Amino acid sequence: MFSALDVVASSAYLENPAGYHFEGQDPDEKILLVLRAHPITNWTWVVPAILIFFLPFILPEFLPVIGINILIIPDQYLMAFIIINYLLVLVIVFEGFLSWYFNVNILTNKKIVDLDFYSVLSKNVDLAPLNGIQEASGQVAGVLGMIFHYGPVMVQTAGAKVSIDLIDVPMPEKVADIIMDEVHKIQRK
């Protein structure tokens, strides 16, 4: 039986996913892993969004403490505050989700693709062929990293032409091992 947390976490680590394709994929290229940052790393935008969401409910309780009578504030100003507040929550959630969802790392049987999404108008794509990879290492650090088992995977390429860093991915040691297994398969051919 899967919990809701398992379903969300599984979207951050997909092994041999069916139906996934990416721009620039060769016809004979097979996707082995699709990785995103662990969902728990989204707390940096989820917590502020929740706090701002509940601000209109909490603020009226604290205004009298600092000497502001809420009854003298015109209704138009209160309505404008509420609308701006919820638009801000919408922007925070929308931007945070897009940033998490579209920052993707893909391991294929030929290369590693590191897609860094900065905004709707800006992205960066780094490609590293597997035959140019010398080392991959995964690390789990910090309290949240230890509890939820996520961390960075650093991939060193020959000549350090391209820096591939998989940030906060689930099971970093396993990911590094899979990468090195694929590199060794390429080197044996």
| CATH assignment of the domain containing 177 | 2.30.29
Q: Are 156 and 166 in contact (CB under 8 A)?
A: no
Digit-coded pLDDT (tens) for 79-92: 999 999 999 999 99
* Whether the predicted pLDDT of 145 surpasses 50: yes
Q: Are residues 30 and 108 in the same domain?
A: yes
pLDDT value, residue 61: 87
Q: Are residues 61 and 23 in the same domain?
A: no
Q: Could you count the other beta carbons within 10 Å of the beta carbon of residue 76? A: 8
Digit-coded pLDDT (tens) for 69-118: 888 889 999 999 999 999 999 999 999 999 999 999 999 999 999 999 98
Q: Are residues 183 and 108 in the same domain?
A: yes
The average confidence (pLDDT) of the chain is: 90
Q: Are residues 135 and 165 in the same domain?
A: yes
Q: Are residues 90 and 178 in the same domain?
A: no
Q: Are residues 33 and 119 in the same domain?
A: yes
Q: Which of 97, 115, 139 corresponds to the end of one domain?
A: 97
Q: Are residues 33 and 49 in the same domain?
A: no
Q: Are residues 107 and 91 in the same domain?
A: no
Q: Are residues 111 and 172 in the same domain?
A: yes
Where in the sequence is the domain holding 153, given as residue range(s)?
A: 4-37+103-188
* Whether the predicted pLDDT of 52 surpasses 80: yes
Distance, CA of 20 to CA of 7 (rounded, Å): 18
Q: Are 151 and 172 in contact (CB under 8 A)?
A: yes
Q: Are residues 181 and 132 in the same domain?
A: yes
Q: Are residues 18 and 51 in the same domain?
A: no
Q: Are residues 107 and 75 in the same domain?
A: no
How many domains does one find in the chain?
2
pLDDT value, residue 1: 38
